[in-house]
Structure formats: structure tokens, C-alpha cells
Amino acid sequence: MATIDYPLEHPKAVTPEFSFSETLYKWVATVDHKRLGLMYVVSALFFLVVAGIMASVIRLQLAVPLNHLVDPDTFNRLFTMHGTTMVFLVGMPMVAGFSNYLVPLMIGARDMAFPRLNAFGFWIFLLGGFLLYFSYIGGGGLSGAGSAPDVGWFAYAPLTAKAFSRGAATDYWALGVLVSGVGSIASAINVIATAFCMRCPGMTLSRMPMFVWVMVVDSWLILVALPPLSAAQIMLELDRHLGANFFDTQAGGSAVLWQHLFWIFGHPEVYILIFPAFAILSEVIPIFSRKPLFGRPAMVGAVVAIGFISLGVWAHHMFAIGMTSWSNTFFAASSMLVGVPTGIKIFNWTATMYGGKLRMSTPLLFCIGFLLQFLVAGLTGIMLAVAPFDWQLHDSYFVVAHFHFTLVGGLVFGLFAGMYYWFPKVSGKMLDERLGKWHFWLFTIGFNITFVTLHFAGLLGMPRRIYTYYPGRGWELINLIATIGVIPQAAGLLCFVWNVVQSARKGVPAGDDPWDAWTLEWATSSPPPEYNFEKLPVVRSSRPLWDLKHPQDPDWKFE
């Protein structure tokens, strides 16, 4: 008798040939969590390339002083669309995509709790993306004023008032983001319900993979952080179209209310965006260090703590507006407090690697890159949490460098680690290691060239969002170097795209469990069949696949 609990051998699914229209129908009408997860990730990668090209144009414009590569209006649209796209059309669908694909597989379920809601979430997110980009065509409105939104990704009042933002561009911004936010909420409810209600027998919460834990807290943050943004956008549209006075200072309204509402959303949002990277690291580092995650209960505690503390730090984005010193003190202290659980996580990942049998494959390289760069991001974050320091550097390139270190050096590196790690599961083929290493080194070097130097631009007083600058302020060399750093980054990304395309076509077959991993997604075939598991597994420890592969030395004897 072979195994009963975990079917390791699967009948190979026969893949019949489908015509193009049949394939299209299968993808468009699907409610399968794996297909939806893939569609999320692929559309996010598409938007990543679009917004990356925008960033490159921004850098080219700033490479030399008094440059006129693009005109000022276009420049404003570029940084607005770059920021909005990266946050709402890259970061958010990556959250949804990774959790959609992996959560059911990791907890031994056949699908998400609400498959149709899942499909709704994806399509409405995509509609939001189209709405935002349609502004390039329809943003002028009847008055023909402007095209895409140019109010910055946080769209401060009164820039968004009808008088200062004519045409419909700001409306496309508000509605596009509002609509894609509905999709994020749908997918967050789905992830929570899936993790709570669909776990396979024996998978208690204390045995649930760390990835799922982080994604549950992430979904919680989405549920409590996105509605404030929706409320702000509804108020904005009421202001713009029905003449309400929420953000109209001339009628007694308050531009600061917009800032509060936006950042009540905006600060938890950066944790929403970084959590997938936390989740990925918590899976990848143990596997590639051949050690269980160090201090797992502390890791769960830390992530839950971040899920609550991060709700009370938002006004550190607003130190410069002149709040009372009590508010400044409170938000400075709470912002530093959130560094404690984040520090716990960094230490625990490092401790997991310490003394481990490290396998220096591409996923682990990206994790190490994450650890170092996210540490820098965290330290500059603590610096900016000090209110007087922030007064000095508010809205400067130091802030730009800080949050690109969190979101590129942190999130994007984490996502790459995850893609190299799970690509074999998704496609059944290994990604090429040589190209992967090229990708890692080119991207890491380029990223650091660009964003380490931008810290100094900020320290020298260069404000963000300026169209161009005069020579003689000491910014020329820094900006030129920062722009040169784009080249290795783009080359690294090309390596990645080429790697994915080539490996998907003729990569080395991966087999079910190429990394000798411990979580349930590796217990099924690669790619997994539509039903995920032939027989639902039964779990006795937090490393179910280890138990199965080592029946003489199972984890559950010690847990």
C-alpha cells in the first residue's frame, strides 16, 4: 500500500488540442483560482513594463539640467500615471495574483471559497486599469483640456478641484482606482474566507503555512484600508460633479481632510504592498536554507502586530502641514513602533539562514537582495519618522529614494524571488539559472546605482516632481548617474522576460517538487490539475510534505 494521505503520483492529465476561440473562452469564462491568479500576475507584469517605461522617460528627462525631452504637462502626467499604475495596477494585482494561485494549494483546498467572486474581482480590476488608461484618449472631456491625470498619485486637493483640473482626467483617475479597489476588496474577502474555511483536515491555524498567514493579515489590511480611499474618491466626485464642498476651502471645506483620508488608506497600503514579499520570503528562505522558519510564532505575532500598528501611523506623511506637536509626537512614535515587528521579521529571516545549508539559487539571491535593501529602506524610514528630520527632507528625492527602496528593493525583489521559486510549479518547467543570475546581478546593480544616488539628491535639496532644474546646484552628476542606472535595470528585466518566454517553451522539465520543499503545493503535479488534489491531503504538522518524504522522522512527532 502506498501513501493514503498524500497522493504523490498522479495520472498525467491528457491535454487535448483546443482552437484559439475555445482557449480564449476557457480563460475568459474561468473561475479556476490558478487561471485567475495567473491572469492577475500577467496583467500586473504588463502594467509593470508600461509604468517602467514611464519611469525611464522620467529619468531621461532629469538626466541633464534644463532638458526638454518631454514638455512639463507630459512630465506631470508621467509621474502621476507611473505612481498610480505601480501601486494600483502592479502592486495590488500581484497581491491578489500570488494569494489566488497559492493559498488554496498551500492549504490543501480545491479552489477559493468564492470562485465566481474571484473572477468578478479580476475583471473589475482590469476594468479599473482600462478606465485609468482610457484617460489618455477621453481625459480631455468636452472642453478638450489635458489628457491623462496630472495630479500626482495622491492627488492632493485642491489640485483636483474642478477649477484646477478641467476635463475628465481626474475623474478617470478617481473612478479607475475606485473600481479596481472594489476588485481588491472582493479578492481580500475571498482570501480570508478561503484560509478560515477551506483548510484540509489537520491544517490548524498553527500549522498553516506562513505565506497564508501573511496573506490573511494582508487581506485584513485591504478590508480596513481601502474603504477610506473609496470614501475620499466618492467625496471628490461629489465635489467635482455635484458641487459638494468637502475639499473646497472657500466654502469652509478642508484640503487636509483629503490628506487624512488618503493616508489613512495610503500608509496601510504600503504594508499591503510589501506583505506579499514578506510572505514569499517566509517560504523561500527556509527551503533554500534547509531549516524550518526561525521563530515561527514570533513571525505570526509580528505580522499581526503590523496589521494593527500600521493603521495608526498615517499622519507621518503630513508632518509638513503644521499639525499640533502632540500629533507630530504621536505619529512619530507610532511610526517607529511599527519598525519593531518589522525588525523581528528581518532578524528571524536572517536567523533562519544562519547555520543553514544555503543553496545559492536565484530565488535565494533575490531574498538576500531583499533583506539588505529592505533594511536600508527601513532605516531611512525611521529617519523620516523623526518629525524635524522630515520637515527638512519632506517631498525631496530622499523620500523618493526611500520608498523606491521599499517597493522596488523590497517588494519587486520579493516578487522576483517568488516567481523564480513557483514558476516550475505553474509551468512545469524550470527557469534558466544562468539567465536568472544575470537578471539578479544586472537588476541589483542598476537599482542601487539609481536609488542610492537619489538619496544624495534629496539630501542636497532636490524636490520631487520637478520638471527640470538649473545647473550649478550639485545635482547634475547625481541625476546623470541615476539615469545611467536605468540601463542595467532594463537589461535585467529583459533577461527575465526572455527567461520566462524561453523556459515556458523549452525549459528543463521541473517535476512535482524540484526544490525539495515542504508545503502542500509541491505535493501535486506541475502544473497542478484543475482540481488541485485528487484526494484532499491530511496534515499533521506545519511541514506536511516533509512528513510524507521522511516517514521515519516526521515533524509531527516533535510539534
Helix or strand or coil: residue 155? coil
Closer residue to another protein (CB): 190 or 448: 190
Closest by Cα among 554, 542, 558 to 203: 542
Can residue 226 be called a binding residue for another protein (CB under 8 A)?
yes
Contact residue for another protein among 31, 63, 127, 244 (CB under 8 A): 244
In eight-state DSSP terms, residue 310 is G
Can residue 8 be called a binding residue for another protein (CB under 8 A)?
no
Closer residue to another protein (CB): 230 or 380: 230
Helix or strand or coil: residue 223? helix
Residues across the chain: 559
Q: Is the CB of residue 247 less than 8 Å from the CB of residue 160?
A: yes
Can residue 375 be called a binding residue for another protein (CB under 8 A)?
no
Burial of 144 (0-12, 13-18, 19+ CB in 10 A): exposed
Q: Is the CB of residue 112 less than 8 Å from the CB of residue 194?
A: yes
Place of cell 504637462: 73
Write phi, then psi, for 396 (nearest 5 degrees). -110, 175
H helices, E strands: number in the chain: 19, 0
What's the maximum distance between 2 C-alpha atoms anywhere in the chain? 80
Give the binding-site size for another protein (rule: CB under 8 A). 44
Closer residue to another protein (CB): 264 or 400: 264
In eight-state DSSP terms, residue 469 is -
Contact residue for another protein among 8, 57, 60, 231 (CB under 8 A): 231
Q: Is the CB of residue 288 less than 8 Å from the CB of residue 316?
A: no
Place of cell 483546498: 109
Residues 160-219 that bind another protein (CB under 8 A): 185, 188-190, 192-194, 196-199, 201-202
Can residue 538 be called a binding residue for another protein (CB under 8 A)?
yes
Closer residue to another protein (CB): 150 or 248: 248
Residues 66-105 that bind another protein (CB under 8 A): none
Can residue 27 be called a binding residue for another protein (CB under 8 A)?
no
How far is the C-alpha of 526 from the C-alpha of 280, rounded, in Å?
A: 19
Per-residue x/- track, 460-499, another protein (CB under 8 A): ----------------------------------------
Q: Is the CB of residue 57 less than 8 Å from the CB of residue 70?
A: yes
Residues 110-139 that bind another protein (CB under 8 A): 113-114
Residues 246-305 that bind another protein (CB under 8 A): 246, 251-254, 257, 261, 264
Closer residue to another protein (CB): 472 or 551: 551
Contact residue for another protein among 8, 234, 480, 504 (CB under 8 A): 234
How far is the C-alpha of 50 from the C-alpha of 59, rounded, in Å?
A: 15
Can residue 242 be called a binding residue for another protein (CB under 8 A)?
yes
Contact residue for another protein among 57, 64, 238, 504 (CB under 8 A): 238
Place of cell 502586530: 305
Write phi, then psi, for 480 (nearest 5 degrees). -65, -45
Contact residue for another protein among 128, 176, 228, 428 (CB under 8 A): 228
Can residue 393 be called a binding residue for another protein (CB under 8 A)?
no
Sole window of 89-97, 220-228, 301-309, 481-489 interacting with another protein (rule: CB under 8 A):
220-228
Can residue 5 be called a binding residue for another protein (CB under 8 A)?
yes
Binding stretches for another protein (CB under 8 A)? 1, 4-5, 113-114, 185, 188-190, 192-194, 196-199, 201-202, 223-224, 226-228, 230-232, 234-235, 238-239, 242-246, 251-254, 257, 261, 264, 536, 538
